[in-house]
Amino acid sequence: MTRTPDASWIETRLTGARPQVVAALLRYFRDLDLAEEAFQEACLRALRNWPEQGPPRDAAAWLIMVGRNAALDQVRRQRRMTQLPPGDPAFEAGADEPDIAERLDAADYRDDILRLMFVCCHPDLPATQQIALALRIVSGLPVGRIAAAFLVKERAMEQRITRAKSRINDADIPFETPGPDERIGRLRTVAAMIYLTFNEGYTDANPTSARAALCDEAIRLARLLLRMFPAEPELMGLLALMLIQHARQPARFDRKGAVILLEDQDRGLWNRRMITEALAMIDKAMLHHAPGPYQLQAAIAAMHARAPRPEDTDWAGIDRLYEALERHTPSPVVTLNRAVAVMKLRGAAAALELIAPLAPALDGYFYFHGLHGILLRDLARRDEARDAFGRAIALANTAAEAAHIRQLLDGL
């Protein structure tokens, strides 16, 4: 170890090591609470020791060892108080043998972290619990900050996370190293959770809010996955998609928090560094010749990002990409999005004809009624447009969305 007088690096080291350490401890002890408590104890010891002794060569290995010992001390105390159930490796006779750390350190950390994320994405959990659990366990965000992001009280969020942990602990989740097919399935599940996390923050008009910060956390998690699986084109597409969308954040709302449509945004405010990174990533993903939904969505976003002005947008190319996305992942929402390109290319009547069959499936969807109202307005069907806009306001997810539709109503 080398001595250093500056301890500001400690938080960065602990945050960066957290997923690997918690994942390794979870695989060994198979208990989320115990793994998290062991990591917290290891962090406390790091805060006491590292400023004086300097950073270890491998911070994650150090934290795994210290956390493992702390958890085993807790297990020994429980042994003295109660008879523990047989069969769990943490309670077996050889659990405190010195080769445990070697077995942990030799594990494939990629599968450990993927398993940790997959545990947080257990299919029995609602999407909101999946996101909250991942933000708490994988990212280490304080419960108060997660509660602020979801606009609930801290106690309610604590209860939500506790219930999610209980369902995970009660489930029979295999901890063996996943095979290639299972790994691909897990990656899809984790990618969906990350994109849900991003979308939770994407609609917030305040870029400094706890909710908007979820976009940054989702991008960080996607980068973590991509470092572990650098040849997965869909992970490249996911990260590129989020980078392009997040790059527009400074131009998406006015000073009062009202929505600014894409075609009306000041493109000079877009973050070109993010966009450049995303475009290079899309090109790299396409070299694999294995297009998936995230790559196709990223390619659509790239069409907008490449256009210097709204009138330069390649709507025909966007329409073709949406057609490919419809074939790959049929969905009424995909068709609804394609209708915007159809409107630009062939007019409101053609777009209205395209979305008419979607009404039963999307009757509770804000964006359907918003677009429906715009198309009816453009066709001078004002009374029907008012009804559609009224329905959209009732379904608005945010105050900014509702205010935007009211502006359209005022325009009538």
Domain final residue pick, 228, 263, 298: 228
**Residue 138, pLDDT score:** 82
Cβ-based neighbours of 17, under 8 Å, separated by 6 or more: 59, 60, 63
The Cα–Cα gap between 268 and 22 comes to 42
In this structure, are 26 and 89 located in the same domain? yes
Q: Is residue 27 part of a domain?
A: yes
Say if 364 falls within a structural domain. no
Domain assignment present for 201: yes
Residues 186 and 222 in one domain: yes
CB atoms within 10 A of CB 25: 29
pLDDT (0 to 100) of residue 81 = 55
**116 plus 222 within the same structural domain:** yes
The count of domains in the chain is 2
- pTM (whole model) above 0.95: no
Please report the pLDDT score of residue 262 as a whole number.
Answer: 92
* 405 within domain boundaries: no
Q: Give the pLDDT of residue 251.
A: 93
Output the six-digit token pair for 87: 């069969």
Domain contains 42: yes
* Statement to judge: residues 63 and 121 lie in one domain: no
Q: Is residue 39 located within the same domain as residue 134?
A: no
Residues 181 and 94 in one domain: no
Last residue of one domain, picked from the residues 186, 209, 228: 228
One domain, residues 32 and 81? yes
Among 82, 107, 132, give the residue marking a domain's end: 107
Q: Which residues pair with 253 in a beta bridge?
A: 259
pLDDT single digits (tens) 340-361: 999 999 999 999 999 999 999 9
pLDDT for the residue numbered 176:
61
Range of the structural domain that residue 75 is part of: 9-107
Instruction: HSE, CB side, 13 Å, CA atoms: give it for residue 208.
Output: 0
The residue whose two tokens read 């995970």 is 168
| pLDDT of res. 30 | 80
Which segments in the chain show pLDDT lower than 50?
1-5, 84-107
Facing residues of 259 across strands?
A: 253
Residues 196 and 218 in one domain: yes
Instruction: Note whether residue 247 is domain-resident.
Output: no
- One domain for residues 97 and 112: no
CA–CA distances in Å: residue 323 to residues 176, 335, 354, 375: 40, 8, 12, 20
Pair 75, 163 in one domain: no
Which residues are CB-contacts of 109 (< 8 A; sequence separation ≥ 6)? 20, 23, 24, 60, 228
Inside any domain, residue 324: no
> Is the residue at 50 inside a domain?
yes
Distance CA 17, CA 288 (A): 31
> At CB < 8 A and 24+ separation, what contacts does 258-262 make?
258/205, 258/400, 258/403, 258/404, 258/407, 259/205, 259/400, 259/401, 259/403, 259/404, 262/304, 262/310
Q: Do both 98 and 192 map to the same domain?
A: no
My answer on whether 135 and 37 are in the same domain is: no
Q: Quick count: other Cβ atoms within 10 Å of Cβ 72? A: 17
CA 54 from centre of chain:
34
DSSP-derived 3-state class of residue 332: helix
